[in-house]
Each structure stands twice: as structure tokens, then as C-alpha cells.
Amino acid sequence: KAGVTQTPRYLIKTRGQQVTLSCSPISGHRSVSWYQQTPGQGLQFLFEYFSETQRNKGNFPGRFSGRQFSNSRSEMNVSTLELGDSALYLCASSLAGKGYTFGSGTRLTVV
């Protein structure tokens, strides 16, 4: 059974650019969440989608946005990148009532 797939695995961007990260959940999972992990702040919740609707949002600026498609695949976008956005971005999917399964993440470096 395929796990949660995140692409790309690594990304280098310049300050001011924007970036789009992709997440394919486990087949049948309709809930997809995004997290940011940095050495200083640890793992922080960004947002959660279910059936193409955002149900929960963390405390991040509006530069961080996401969406979910009808096949449950999700993308997150960060506009006007800042150096502080360098982080590991993790996606997780879930079947109702079960735990979340995380992907291996996308490592974003902003220079």
C-alpha cells in the first residue's frame, strides 16, 4: 500500500519567490494536513483539508495557503518567500478515527 507521497523532496528558492508543494495522500484518505518543522519552533500545524474544504488553520500568515483537489491530493503554496520559511514541510493524511500517516516531507531552503 503506497504511503503519503510528497514532491519535491528538496527545493531551493530565492527570497521573494513563491513555491508550491504537492502531497498525494494514501488512497481513500480524505483528510490532509500540513505541518512545518524547524529546529527552533519544532512541528507546527499549518492547515487541514477534508473534501476540498479547509477545516482548520494554524497561526501562520496569509502567505501560506493550500488547497485540496477532488482526488484528495493537496498543494500548499508559500508566496513572497522569506529566509525564515526554510523548513521541512510535512503532509499527513488520515482516515476518520485513525491516526495520521505522514510523508517524508519537502525540505525547502530559501536563500
Partner 1 sequence: DAKTTQPNSMESNEEEPVHLPCNHSTISGTDYIHWYRQLPSQGPEYVIHGLTSNVNNRMASLAIAEDRKSSTLILHRATLRDAAVYYCILTLNSNSGYALNFGKGTSLLVTP
Per-residue b or e along 50-69, where b marks 16 or more CB atoms closer than 10 Å to that residue's CB: beeeeeeeeebeeebbbebe
Question: What cell numbers appear for 52 in the block?
Answer: 476540498
Question: How near is the Cβ of 43 to partner 1 at its closest, in Å?
Answer: 4
Contact 16, 83 (CB under 8 A): no
12 contacts partner 1 (rule: CB under 8 A): no
- Maximum distance among all alpha carbons in the chain? 40
Residue closer to partner 1 by CB (options 45, 73) is 45
Question: How near is the Cβ of 80 to partner 1 at its closest, in Å?
Answer: 25
Query: Which one of residues 44, 65, 79, 86 is an interface residue with partner 1 (CB under 8 A)?
Result: 44
Question: How near is the Cβ of 15 to partner 1 at its closest, in Å?
Answer: 26
Question: What cell numbers appear for 16 in the block?
Answer: 521573494
Question: How near is the Cβ of 96 to partner 1 at its closest, in Å?
Answer: 5
Count of Cβ atoms closer than 10 Å to residue 38 Cβ? 13
**Site residues for partner 1 per CB under 8 A:** 4, 30-31, 33, 35, 42-45, 48, 50, 55-56, 58, 90, 92, 94-105
